[in-house]
Amino acid sequence: MNQEQTSQEHFDPKTYDRPLFFLPNEITLLIFSFLAQQDKINAARVSRVWRDAIYSPSLWHEAILYNVKGFKNNILSRLSQVEFLDARASGISDEEVRLLVIGPAGKTLKVLDLSVSHQLTNECLIYIGQHCVKLEKLFLEGCNKISDIQPLEMLVGRLKTIVLAYNENLGNAVFWNLSNFGDRIIKLDLDGCPLISDAGIECLAAHLHGLKYLAIDGQGINDKPVISIFENCTNLVLFSMSFCENLTDVFLNGLIRNLCPSLKYLRLRKGATFTEEGFCQLFEHLTLRGYSFISLDLSECTNVTNIALEHLNQPQLRRLNLDWCWSVNDSNILEILKKSPKIEELFLTGCDDVTCESLVGEKIASLKILNLFSCRMVRRNIICDVSKSNPDLYIIDYYGEVYKDGKKIGLMDQVFIKEEKVELMVDGRERWGLLNIGT
């Protein structure tokens, strides 16, 4: 028996205090750092030694604590070096936020997501404003008890992204508080905040000139304040406005006059007062300028008609949403796809006159999702024929069932498209999330 065999026989890994006994602790931690969060959690179950290594704070610069019941002491100790913390729907309280940020994490946090934490009040923002000295992005979507963001003024010069969507108690004061940030705020989401009025939008346009991503609730908002956004915020990449029911063709003309080259994602939802003529002028202007969006959402704009769509020429368009645009029919669906050769997603929910017969036998190389939910005139055999001709295409039928390569594969809220970085829901909700200002 040689010396090597002898040493192996007497080797006992239990006597070692490192999980990978041949390597220094620094190398072991480096290896573990490449694991995704769930893989780390699984690895921590291997042994006590592995668990101690896995839960080293240096491995938790990014953490997701979705739907946990508050922050326990052991969690706080593991998060002492966290930079990105996703604690959505975590049920945490103001006091637990205080304990988190007064500790070491307050000096390292750059991104903090506390969305859908219904217990949080204005008090938690005082702690965040005082202690999160490096915070760049803050997500408070659906935190309905928050009504005053003045404490965040302490983060002027650092905070760049603020998501306050669906906080029903936030009003125009949010803009007075944000006015001191000036050009620093790049991304702002106030969708689902119905108390904001024209005066608040005018304040936004006057002070937040650095905005690149903006989402607002359009209830009660009129043409002039929204036009002023495009006049002053000339770096906009994404503009999303829901409930555009008070906007008219005056806004569309203002958009034409102030259309900036950087704007690539446009959402104008429920713009029932826009006319067919207004859309014709907008689409003609886009074509004349050679201007193309990447994503265009005109859902529930009922005067987007076939006549208007004849003028739509968007060679870079990848996502077009025409849900509940009742005037759209089958005559120019194929023409849309030909004029937009890069289109990947086409949403036609509730378009009762669409049959998709024009797509039978056509090869549509770029199209990945065709949403025909609640389209009562589309027959099942047409869906099968189109999907067989385009085996990479996912088609959603009237009932929300998904077809691929001629076969039914599941419901639209259960089927995902696997891409290199992320799985995308077929019905488009997660895909819009990639364009959302929070990313």
How do residues 81-102 score in pLDDT, each as one tens digit?
Answer: 999 999 888 888 999 999 999 9
How far is Cα 378 from Cα 358, in angstroms, rounded to an integer? Answer: 11
Q: Is 38 helix (H, G, I), strand (E, B) or coil?
A: helix
Looking at residue 182, what is its pLDDT? 83
In which residue are the tokens 């607002």 written?
Answer: 216
429: number of Cβ within 10 Å: 11
Contact 128, 154 (CB under 8 A): no
128: number of Cβ within 10 Å: 24
pLDDT beneath 70: ranges in the chain: 1-24, 28, 66-70, 73, 419-423, 428-439
Looking at residue 67, what is its pLDDT? 64
Joined tokens for residue 381: 């055999």
How far is Cα 361 from Cα 388, in angstroms, rounded to an integer? Answer: 9
Looking at residue 8, what is its pLDDT? 42
The distance in angstroms from the start CA to the end CA of the chain is 61
DSSP state of 374: T
Angle subtended at Cα 330 by Cα 282 and Cα 287, rounded to the nearest 5 degrees: 25
Contact 381, 357 (CB under 8 A): no
Q: Is 47 helix (H, G, I), strand (E, B) or coil?
A: coil
Topology given in CATH for the domain delimited by 275-439: 3.80.10
Joined tokens for residue 30: 């480096």
276-289 helix and 249-257 helix, angle to the nearest 10 degrees: 10
The amino acid at residue 147 is: S
How far is Cα 197 from Cα 180, in angstroms, rounded to an integer? Answer: 20
Q: What confidence tens digit (pLDDT) does each residue in 159-201 have?
A: 999 999 999 999 999 999 998 888 899 999 999 999 999 999 9
Joined tokens for residue 107: 């000096």
Burial class (CB in 10 A: 0-12, 13-18, 19+), 388: middle
Strands 369-371 and 111-113 come out as unpaired
